[in-house]
Amino acid sequence: MLEKELILTRSEIDRRVEELGREITRRYFGKDLVVVGVLKGAFVFLADLIRAIDLDIAVDFLQVASYGHGHVADGPIRIGKDIELAIGGKNVLIVEDILDTGHTLVKIRDFLADRRPRSIRSCVLIDKKERRQVDIVADYVGFVVEKGFLIGCGLDYGERYRHYPDVYSLTGL
């Protein structure tokens, strides 16, 4: 039987998002910034985060083609939807819901770096350590969570639960 355990409450998430927004605002003050959300999972966090950033930003989205779990680890990245904005010479902030094995973020970063942006940084709502396979550190981390199958705030299980305002760990899978 599926059961869910509360991991992050909406009010904790709201507070942390405000802090991240302030940090990002300070770092990019007076500079351009293109925020790139990675679909689908990032859309909820991204919507919250950009409203906490007090800068004149541009927003775009990218989606990695899905081939089931673990697809990103081997071979070149396959893009389902590319960004539409030109990022050459711009500051780019990649926004993800979760950093898990790390393969997705490494490959997206390299993919976008080929377009010669001025800088690339990353912001993840959750840094989950349990399954990390590559050495990557996000520049901005909302929360570190050691383990668990997480749902809510954009994170899904078979496309369900993305809309939950809080984050839960799902058990009994």
Catalytic residue among 74, 100, 135, 139: 100
Three-state SS string across 109-153, please? HHHHHCCCCCEEEEEEEEEECCCCCCCCCCCEEEEEECCCEEEEC
Query: Of all residues in the chain, what percent are helix, strand and coil, respectively (each to 5)?
Result: 20, 35, 45
Min separation Cβ 32 and ligand PRP, Å: 25
Is 82 an annotated catalytic residue? no
Kind and range of the H or E run holding 22: helix 10-27
Min separation Cβ 18 and ligand PRP, Å: 22
Member of 37, 96, 122, 138 binding ligand PRP (CB under 6 A): 96
Shorter beta-carbon distance to ligand PRP: residue 53 or 94: 94
User: What is the dihedral angle through the alpha carbons of 136, 138, 143, 147, rounded to the nearest 10 degrees?
Assistant: -20
Closest C-alpha to 33, from 56, 13, 54, 49: 56
Member of 33, 44, 98, 126 binding ligand PRP (CB under 6 A): 98
Find tokens 């490959």 and name the residue.
Answer: 107
Member of 101, 127, 152, 161 binding ligand PRP (CB under 6 A): 101
Backbone angles phi and psi of 50, in degrees to 5: -65, -25
Min separation Cβ 11 and ligand PRP, Å: 23
Binding to ligand PRP by residue 102, rule CB under 6 A? yes
Shorter beta-carbon distance to ligand PRP: residue 24 or 72: 72
Q: Which residues are catalytic?
A: 100
Binding-site ranges for ligand PRP (CB under 6 A): 38-41, 66, 72, 96-105, 156
